[in-house]
């Protein structure tokens, strides 16, 4: 049996998305910047996709900008949000994706900002009281906090953070890549400044994403060289990808509750089976429904000594997952997330991430293989 449980890394293309993209490839090959009929037809497809995404997120079409993915979207929001608004202090957490952390650290290194990192607890929850203290101390900060952590799944209350940022005049960016297509996002109500999405996290194509920019938040282009995306992003649009992104998000929203129940059920079933069959199994992050991203389960295993071999052994057994260890020294290259929450660096940690296509039979197969591996090293 081949089992794919690495959906937080990327998801399989939905068949309907493939059909929409192939139709576009076959019938619509004009450049959307061209003024002739072929170009106008393709421009219409791009704008239709923009309206679809905006409508699903309760945003205005003018607030949606298509990008090459979540990393570009995060970089654009952070760099332009800080520079164009003259911000000199930024706040983030040690759990953010490297697209956020490395960008902020680069700005700190070149002297553009001073950077504060808000504390987290052992389950990956942000210290919201410390966040408010930092905002009081540094009015008009740039705050970047992700909606759900991509490694451990712990959710952040971005509605509360957004309200807090509004209270203190801060600019708020949230990396929503892992939750896009899995939760309802109402950007008009939420009133954050920036949010990001990547199509391949919700059964769309790789290499395309989007940046939401609140209409009140004005920024300059991050990529120059053309008038595309209403003069905000140079470069010919990835038309096929944009069409696929919009169709994928449309499918997600049409079936969101059904898929959520199915995937949450798989996660809870796997937790129960692991607790039954593997003594001293632990879980990284908050696994409480409502506090945790239902597509992600990060598991800490008791079979010390095979951390480097766990993923390899699973791969040999036909199981695709991902993971890492906490850093045990400054020279280790491990998971910065697991290190930040104080995970045991000696225990193997594996992230299993689910999608609508997974089944209970697959979970049984995976748990059986995990039990064999841990018993071999007991």
- What is the domain-level CATH number for residue 318? 3.90.1150.10
Compute the distance between CA of residue 43 and CA of residue 32 in angstroms, rounded to an integer. Answer: 4
Give the pair of three-digit tokens for residue 63: 């607030």
**Domain final residue, candidates 254, 282, 310:** 254
Instruction: Specify the pairing of strand 322-323 against strand 114-117.
Output: unpaired
- 11-51 tens-digit pLDDT: 999 999 999 999 999 999 999 999 999 999 999 999 999 99
Question: How far apart are alpha carbons 287 and 264 in whole angstroms?
Answer: 11
Pick the last residue of a domain from 219, 254, 289. 254
> 288 with 242, same domain?
no
Burial of 279 (0-12, 13-18, 19+ CB in 10 A): exposed
pLDDT digits (tens, 9 = 90+) for 233-290: 999 999 999 999 999 999 999 999 999 999 999 999 999 999 999 999 999 999 999 9
Same domain, 313 and 327: yes
Which residue in the list 165, 303, 327, 355 is annotated as catalytic? 327
Same structural domain for residues 301 and 232? no
In a shared domain, residues 137 and 113: yes
**Does residue 102 sit in the same domain as residue 198?**
yes
CA-nearest of 234, 243, 203, 247 to 26 is 243
Say if residue 145 is in the same domain as residue 189: yes
Is 327 designated active site?
yes
Which of 254, 276, 306 is a domain's end point?
A: 254
Claim to verify: residue 246 and residue 280 sit in the same structural domain: no
Q: Which phi and psi (to 5°) does residue 197 adopt?
A: -145, 155
Within this chain, do residues 7 and 76 fall inside the same structural domain, yes or no? no
Contact 243, 250 (CB under 8 A): no
Domain identity same for 247 and 272: no
**62-99 per-position pLDDT tens digit:** 999 999 999 999 999 999 999 999 999 999 999 999 99
- Report yes or no: 170 and 143 within 8 Å, Cβ to Cβ: yes
Q: What is the CATH number of the domain that holds 119?
A: 3.40.640.10
What are the structure tokens assigned to 44, written together? Answer: 């219409």
* Total domain count, the chain: 2
Which has more confidence, 307 or 5?
5
d(CA 267, CA 367): 12
What range defines the domain where residue 348 resides?
3-11+255-376
């Amino acid at each position: 049996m081949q089992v794919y449980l690495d959906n937080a890394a990327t998801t399989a293309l939905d068949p309907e998305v493939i059909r929409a993209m192939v139709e576009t490839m076959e019938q619509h090959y004009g450049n959307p910047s061209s003024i002739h009929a072929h170009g106008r037809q393709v421009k219409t497809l791009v704008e239709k996709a923009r309206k679809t995404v905006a409508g699903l997120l309760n945003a205005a079409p003018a607030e949606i900008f298509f990008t090459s993915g979540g990393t570009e979207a995060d970089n654009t929001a952070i760099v332009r949000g800080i520079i164009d608004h003259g911000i000199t202090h930024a706040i983030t957490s040690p759990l953010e994706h490297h697209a956020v952390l490395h960008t902020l650290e680069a700005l700190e290194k070149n002297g553009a900002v001073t950077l504060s990192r808000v504390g987290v607890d052992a389950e990956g929850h942000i210290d919201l009281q410390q966040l408010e203290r930092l905002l009081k101390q540094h009015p008009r900060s740039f705050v970047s906090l992700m909606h759900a952590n991509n490694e451990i799944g712990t959710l952040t209350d971005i509605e509360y953070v957004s309200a807090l940022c509004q209270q203190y005049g801060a600019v708020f960016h949230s990396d929503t890549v892992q939750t896009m297509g899995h939760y309802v996002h109402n950007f008009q109500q939420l009133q954050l400044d920036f949010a990001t999405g990547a199509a391949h996290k919700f059964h769309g194509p790789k290499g395309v994403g989007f940046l939401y920019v609140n209409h009140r938040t004005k920024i300059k282009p991050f990529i120059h060289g053309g008038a595309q995306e209403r003069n905000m992003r140079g470069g010919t649009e990835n038309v096929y990808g944009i069409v696929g992104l919009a169709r994928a998000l449309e499918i997600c929203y049409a079936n969101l509750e059904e898929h959520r129940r199915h995937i949450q059920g798989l996660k809870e079933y796997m937790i129960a089976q692991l607790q039954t069959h593997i003594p001293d199994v632990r879980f990284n992050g908050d696994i409480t429904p409502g506090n945790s991203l239902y597509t992600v389960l990060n598991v800490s295993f008791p079979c010390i000594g095979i951390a480097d071999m766990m993923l390899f052994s699973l791969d040999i057994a036909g199981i695709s997952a991902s993971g890492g260890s906490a850093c045990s020294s400054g020279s280790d290259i491990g998971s910065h997330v697991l290190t930040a929450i104080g995970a045991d660096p000696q225990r193997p940690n594996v992230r299993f991430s689910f999608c609508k296509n997974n089944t209970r039979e697959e979970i049984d197969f995976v748990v059986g293989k995990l039990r064999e591996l841990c018993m071999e090293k007991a």
